């Protein structure tokens, strides 16, 4: 069975074949799921979806129709009135004569979706006028057969295994991956700069914003100004040692690592402060 996965064509297709020769049975036929079949001489019509989608020959399709009728419970003598069973048996006999090329008939394929095909005669013999191919606009009735949603149907995308792809879900997953990658890159950037430096930079920004929000005039009751002045160290201040001891005690309680407190070190391109045990000798570039 062939499942038609193509989109609906702009126009429907109606193909009419006049069967006049046994060689017509060898024509290739592509019947989509939306295609109906008619044989006017037998007053027969096969609705869309009855046999599903098929790619076969005309003989194969007619034999499938015959088997479908034979499986009908009305063809059994005990299942219905004798008149119905006789009519079905008569239909099967006439259909067999068409298959064997003993009876001429018309074979019509009507596909509102436009996805069905019948091999033209010029590929077999010199009788190209026996096939009529018509493209017709769909009526409202045929739109209803296809389903109203078919008017606005979208293209179906499938992966390598043939499964239908959910493009919306794929876009969501790609967006989530991009966001996760962005967060990871941002975290790596923070680690590359140093966590302590990052915290210090954030603290400096907060302090700067806080200072910008203060008025230009500073008064004696300004707590921040008073604290800053108290913590300043001045040469000759008799309380300098006491302030240093107090700061050392506070730093000890904070469990911070000791820092270098000697003369200002020479500048370096990384702005790294020397260790607290540095003796003040610049050994850069010496072996």
* pLDDT 10s digits, 150-178: 555 566 677 777 777 888 888 999 999 99
Whether residue 76 is found in the same domain as residue 180: no
Asked whether residue 32 falls in the same domain as residue 70, the answer is: yes
User: In this predicted structure, what is the pLDDT of residue 177?
Assistant: 93
211 against 261, higher pLDDT: 261
**According to the model, what pLDDT value does residue 135 have?**
59
pLDDT surpasses 50 at 187: yes
Residues 32 and 136 grouped into a single domain:
yes
Res 116 pLDDT > 60: yes
Q: Are residues 78 and 170 in the same domain?
A: no
3-class secondary-structure state, position 188:
helix
Q: Same domain, yes or no, for 177 and 90?
A: no
pLDDT of the residue at 128: 58
Predicted pLDDT of residue 173: 92
Q: What is the pLDDT of residues 44-83, one digit of tens each?
A: 888 877 788 888 999 999 999 998 888 876 555 555 556 7
Q: In which band, very low, low, confident or very high, does the pLDDT at 119 lie, cut at 50, 70 and 90? A: confident
Q: Is the confidence at residue 5, as pLDDT, over 60?
A: no
pLDDT at 149: 45
Q: Do the beta carbons of residue 32 and residue 115 sit within 8 Å?
A: yes
For a pLDDT cut of 70, what percent of the chain falls above it? 72
Could you list the residue range(s) of the whole structural domain that residue 39 is in? 12-152
Contact 66, 95 (CB under 8 A): yes
Give yes or no for residue 21 having a pLDDT over 50: yes
CA torsion through residues 251, 252, 257, 260, sign = positive
**Mean pLDDT in residue range 224-234:** 71
Question: What average pLDDT does range 3-18 have in this prediction?
Answer: 72
Counted residue by residue, the chain has a size of 287
Those residues whose C-beta lies under 8 Å from the C-beta of residue 273, and which sit 6 or more positions away, are: 259, 260, 265
Q: Evaluate whether residue 182 is within a structural domain.
A: yes
The number of distinct structural domains making up the chain is: 2
Q: Which of 18, 60, 67 is nearest to 40 (CA)?
A: 18
H helix or E strand, kind and range, residue 143 = helix 140-146
Return d(Cα 279, Cα 287) in angstroms, integer: 17
Q: Is residue 189 part of a domain?
A: yes
Supply the pLDDT for residue 154.
Answer: 62
Task: State whether 40 and 91 are in the same domain.
Answer: yes
Residue 286 lies in a domain: no
Please check whether residue 183 lies inside any domain of the structure: yes
Same domain flag for 49 and 93: yes
Let me know whether 177 and 95 are in one domain: no
Residues 109 and 18 in one domain: yes
Nearest alpha-carbon partner for 104 in 183, 39, 7: 39
Evaluate if residue 4 carries a pLDDT over 80: no
Residue 123 pLDDT > 70: no
Average pLDDT, the chain: 77
For residue 170, the cross-strand partners are none
pLDDT, greater one: 239 or 65: 65
């Amino acid at each position: 069975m062939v499942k038609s996965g193509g989109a609906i064509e702009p126009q429907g297709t109606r193909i009419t074949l006049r069967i006049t020769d046994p060689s017509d049975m060898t024509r290739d036929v592509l019947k989509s799921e939306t295609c109906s079949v008619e044989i006017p001489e037998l007053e027969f019509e096969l609705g869309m979806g009855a046999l599903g989608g098929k790619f076969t020959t005309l003989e194969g399709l007619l034999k499938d129709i015959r088997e479908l009728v034979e499986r009908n419970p009305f063809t059994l003598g005990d299942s219905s009135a004798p008149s119905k069973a006789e009519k079905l048996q008569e239909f099967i006999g006439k259909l067999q004569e068409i298959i064997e090329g003993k009876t001429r008939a018309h074979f019509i394929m009507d596909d509102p979706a436009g996805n069905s095909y019948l091999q033209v005669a010029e590929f077999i013999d010199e009788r190209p006028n026996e096939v009529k191919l018509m493209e017709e606009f769909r009526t409202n009735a045929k739109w209803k057969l296809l389903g109203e949603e078919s008017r606005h149907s979208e293209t179906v995308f499938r992966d390598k295994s043939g499964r239908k792809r959910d493009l919306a879900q794929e876009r969501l997953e790609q967006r989530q991956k991009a966001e996760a990658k962005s967060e990871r890159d941002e975290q790596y950037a923070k680690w590359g700069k140093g966590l302590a430096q990052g915290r210090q930079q954030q603290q400096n920004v907060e302090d700067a914003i806080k200072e910008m929000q203060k008025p230009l005039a500073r008064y004696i009751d300004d707590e921040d100004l008073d604290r800053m002045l108290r913590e300043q160290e001045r040469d000759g201040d008799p309380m300098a040692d006491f302030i240093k001891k107090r700061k050392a005690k506070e730093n000890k309680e904070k469990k911070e690592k000791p820092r270098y407190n000697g003369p200002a070190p020479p500048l370096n391109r990384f702005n790294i402060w020397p260790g607290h045990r540095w003796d003040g000798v610049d050994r850069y570039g010496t072996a």
